[in-house]
Amino acid sequence: MRKTTPSQDFIRGIWNENPVLIQMLGLCPALAVTNSVANALAMSAATFFVICCSSVLISTCKKFIPHEVRISSYILVIATFVTLADMLLQAYAPVQHKELGAFIALIVVNCMILGRQEAFSAKNSVFRSLLDAIGTGIGFTIALVMMGGFREILGEGRFLGYSLFGPNFEPWVIMVLPAGGFLTLGFILLAMGFFEQRKKAKTEQAVEVSS
Amino acid sequence: MSEKGIKEEIAVEEPATPESQEIPVTETVSTFRLVATLAIAGALAGLLIVLVNQHTKPIIDKYKAEQLQIAVYEVLPDVERYNTFYLVDDALSLSLPDGAKESEYKRIYVGYDTANKVSGVAISRGESGFQDVVQVIFGFDPVSGKLSGMKVLDSKETPGLGDKIFKDLDFVKQFFAGPETPLVGVKSGAGKGQPNEIDTITGATISSKVVISIINNGLKEWRPVIDKGIPQAPAVSANEEVSP
Decide if B159 and A90 are in contact by the 8 Å CB cutoff: no
Half-sphere exposure of A70 (CA within 13 A, CB side): 26
Could you tell me if the ipTM is greater than 0.90? Answer: no
Decide if B37 and A1 are in contact by the 8 Å CB cutoff: no
d(C-alpha B130, C-alpha B111), whole Å: 32
Count the helix, strand and coil residues of chain A and give each as a percent rounded to the nearest 5: 75, 0, 20
Domain boundaries, given as residue ranges, for chain B: 3-57, 78-242
Q: What is the pLDDT of residues B69-83, one digit of tens each?
A: 899 998 888 888 888
Query: Is residue A44 one of the residues assigned to a domain?
Result: yes
Q: What is the pLDDT of residues B209-225, one digit of tens each?
A: 999 999 999 999 888 88
Q: What is the pLDDT of residues B71-128, one digit of tens each?
A: 999 888 888 888 888 888 877 888 887 777 777 888 889 888 888 888 889 999 999 9
- Please report the pLDDT score of residue B13 as a whole number: 44
d(C-alpha B187, C-alpha B205), whole Å: 8
CA distance A76 to chain B (A): 7
Number of domains in chain A: 1
Chain A residue with Cα closest to B64:
A94
- Domain containing A45: what range? 6-210
Q: What is the pLDDT of residues A161-177, one digit of tens each?
A: 788 887 888 888 888 88
Chain B residue with Cα closest to A91:
B60
Q: What is the pLDDT of residues A100-131, one digit of tens each?
A: 877 888 899 888 999 999 988 888 899 999 99
- Please report the pLDDT score of residue B143 as a whole number: 85
Q: Are strands B118-128 and B107-112 parallel, antiparallel or unpaired?
A: antiparallel
In three-state secondary structure terms, A91 is helix
Query: Is residue A1 one of the residues assigned to a domain?
Result: no
d(C-alpha B63, C-alpha B58), whole Å: 9
Query: Residue B190: pLDDT above 70?
Result: yes
CA distance A38 to chain B (A): 16
In eight-state DSSP terms, residue B161 is T
Query: Of B14, B63, B158, which is closest to A123 when you measure between CB atoms?
Result: B14
Query: Residue B239: pLDDT above 60?
Result: no
Q: What is the pLDDT of residues A2-48, one digit of tens each?
A: 567 888 888 888 888 888 888 888 888 888 888 889 889 999 999 99
Q: What is the pLDDT of residues B26-67, one digit of tens each?
A: 567 788 888 988 999 999 999 999 999 999 999 998 998 898
pLDDT grade for B1, boundaries at 50, 70 and 90: very low
Q: What phi and psi values does residue A154 have, to the nearest 5 degrees? A: -80, -40
Length of chain B: 244
Query: Is residue A66 one of the residues assigned to a domain?
Result: yes
Other CB atoms within 10 A of residue A181 CB: 22
Nearest CA to B214 out of B103, B121, B134, B111 is that of B134
pLDDT grade for B235, boundaries at 50, 70 and 90: low
**Angle, helix A126-156 to helix A6-14, in steps of 10 degrees:** 20
- Please report the pLDDT score of residue A58 as a whole number: 92
d(C-alpha A35, C-alpha B88), whole Å: 43
d(C-alpha B126, C-alpha B116), whole Å: 30
Query: Is residue A12 one of the residues assigned to a domain?
Result: yes
- Please report the pLDDT score of residue B11 as a whole number: 42
